[in-house]
Amino acid sequence: MNALSAGGESGLEALAGSGPITVSIVEGHPATRASLAAWLDRVPELHCLDLYASGEAAVAGMAFKPPEVALVDIHLPDMSSLECVARLRERLPELRVLLLTWFEEADLLFEALRRGACGYLSKPSIPGELVATIQQFRAGGATMSTQIARKVIRHFDRIRRPKSAAEKLSRPEAEILMLLAKGCDYGEISDWLDLSRGQVQAQLRQIYEKLHAQTRARTAANFFGGAWLPGFFPPPAGTASNRSRTGAFRAVLGELTISTAAKKC
């Protein structure tokens, strides 16, 4: 059975009352493109604005008829998804680009996120997760996997001397990334950091925007080795309880090395 035809009602009511969200599809495979469009047509709160069979067609068409969200296949027939994402975001800075893939191709996904993609979703998970993911976009949030979190940590670790705010992680961003890299889910991160799930996802969105800002500015990253934890975590200010909590947090994260497998919290 096609992944888009099974379980498609999950989460559809989540967008009720928020108004229609316009979505355009960029997919080179005709059957998959039609299947995606048919699935979107079943959701009254989403409006399928246009279908594009290639990146070039999407870049040209969306300039005149921009959607709120673009679903872009990670492998396009005429150009790389990296080029497509970059050109779309250059012309439409407010566009939310969601990459679609069958597998988590971490290197390619990370580069696409640097070019301006706001997230990604595996095609088999579309029926259960697409509506919630698009809703997160509209609310200013984003999601991130353990693999991508580790790549983001490595990326910021390599910047010797941050030249702007876009080159430096804030304390909450660093804490969230490190817990994700250990394999914690959003609920566990929310509990540990006393944040709502929405606040966690908003911080992830900020991280994506920082990555994109760096790429836009063609920032040169200088490399170094050694201890990266102090750079992420400035000396805590405030009460003794805050200092104690920070110490406990560092102890929890002390085992983390980027090369080891993720451990569930």
Counting as low any pLDDT under 50, the low residues of the chain are 1-17, 218-265
Distance CA 192, CA 120 (A): 25
Which tokens belong to 46? Answer: 């989403």
**Residue 90: how many other CB atoms lie within 10 Å:** 13
Judge contact between 116 and 147, C-beta under 8 A.
no
Cα–Cα distance list, 223 to 7, 131, 170 (Å)? 46, 39, 20
What letter does residue 120 receive in the DSSP assignment? E
**pLDDT tens readout for residues 7-43:** 333 333 433 445 789 999 999 999 999 999 998 888 8
What single-letter amino acid sits at 68? Answer: E
| Long-range residue pairs from 250-256, CB within 8 A, at least 24 positions apart, any chain | 253/178, 253/179, 253/182, 253/229, 256/178, 256/181, 256/182
Q: Which neighbouring-strand residues pair with 180?
A: none
Cα–Cα distance list, 253 to 155, 159, 224, 241 (Å)? 18, 21, 21, 18
Cα–Cα distance list, 195 to 70, 90, 150, 265 (Å)? 29, 33, 21, 17
pLDDT score recorded for residue 263? 38
pLDDT score recorded for residue 194? 92
CATH fold label, 3-139: Rossmann fold (3.40.50)
Distance CA 230, CA 134 (A): 35
**pLDDT tens readout for residues 198-222:** 888 888 888 888 887 766 654 333 3
Distance CA 3, CA 58 (A): 24
pTM: 0.66
Judge contact between 265 and 186, C-beta under 8 A.
no
Distance CA 168, CA 109 (A): 21
Where along the chain do the CATH 3.40.50.2300 domains lie? Answer: 3-139
The phi, psi pair for 99, rounded to 5°, reads -80, 140
